Amino acid sequence: MKIEVVIGNIVKQLDVEAVVNSANANLRLGSGVAGAIHTAAGPKLEEYCQPFAPLELGAALITPGFDLPNKWVIHVRSAHYINNTEPERYMAFAIFSMLNVARENKIKTLAMPAIGTGMFKFPAILAARITAKCLQEFAKGESDIELVRICVVNEEMQQLFESAITLEGAPC
């Protein structure tokens, strides 16, 4: 599994099968990544999601991409770093849930945001380390996933995630 870190907009990743939404519990249009994905996908996404709300902490759900250029959206719910207990544990659960849903649906390429670093207030370095460790652990098993692209907002975040991936020994 190749892992790359790019500065880029999650909804502009035209060459991947799935994008990952750092979702709120109600699976609704929100701010940040959830707002961008729901806006780009159109109103059918929120309508489709409603029977599945609330999404449990650490859980993942796959939906069609609707008006996105990507076939699928994988919604994951990470913990809020300040408001939830054991946020690191639930961040890891969310990443493994996302990867398992991708594997179960034979998704080969996906783009994910820096989960938890926006509205969920995770320190970027901690989010990067958890993400890198989970990706490295998952890559040891059998999977069709060929590419995980982490989309970040600036060079500082890109360097943090690339350093974490290198330290964890994940293939870049």
Pairing mode, if any, of strands 147-152 and 72-76? unpaired
Q: Is 31 helix (H, G, I), strand (E, B) or coil?
A: coil
For the chain, 172 residues long, give each residue's pLDDT as a single digit of tens. Answer: 999 999 999 999 999 999 999 999 999 998 889 999 999 999 999 999 999 999 999 999 999 999 999 999 999 999 889 988 999 999 999 999 999 999 999 999 999 999 999 888 899 999 999 999 999 999 999 899 999 999 999 999 999 999 999 986 644 4
All domains of the chain in start order, with CATH: 2-168 (3.40.220.10)
Q: How far is CA 109 from CA 26, 38, 41, 124, 143, in A?
A: 26, 20, 18, 24, 11
Taken as a whole, the chain contains a residue count of: 172
Is residue 62 within 8 Å of 76, Cβ to Cβ? no
What pTM does this model have?
0.95
